[in-house]
Amino acid sequence: MQIILQPILVQESKDNISILENLLAEEFNSSVSTASPIKEMPFQLFDKQREQWKSNKILQWLLINYRPNKATTKILAICELDAYSDEINFVFGEAYVDGSISAIYLPRLRQEFYGLKADSSLFHLRVVKEAVHELGHAFGLSHCNNQMCVMHFSNSLHDTGIKQKSLCDKCKTRILPVNDNNI
């Protein structure tokens, strides 16, 4: 299985992306690479009234433009965008369950978004948790009842903070046989 990280309007350092590549490769037993950044997004994916991006439209746009084979490739968009989905006021990330496309949205993972002092290590930990969570969905996992599992639903940053950055043993057993068959 191949995971492609697709930065969208992101100014993250290559070192941070490289660290994320390594962590995701280990967690999902997959090859991970980073695509060239997307520097512009179609404006019709932006909701002017809400001043937020439409996450489900971003996922559709990625699927149409990149057409990954879900049996061999997963794309994780890393977006410097504030997004929402359907009736949810904001999302940290979203994915097609058992699909090939997922996305995480960085602004609300930063302390500064809430008027707090920047904390780069906390931000990077949140990014890892959200990346693993959304890719978990792309690999077919649903939300986990274990509050410590990265697949537990996060309704707030407090929920994200409680979780570990990896899959629980139960979720790992659900995903690893899929990966073993694709190696």
Q: Which residues are catalytic?
A: 134
CA angle 182, 15, 78 (to 5 degrees): 60
- As a whole number of Å, the CA-based R_g of the chain is 15
Going by their DSSP bridges, the two strands 73-79 and 101-105 should be labelled as parallel
Q: Which of 95, 158, 150, 151 is nearest to 122 (CA)?
A: 158
CB 175 within 8 Å of CB 141: yes
3-state secondary structure of 140: coil
Euclidean distance between CA atoms 104 and 49, whole angstroms: 22
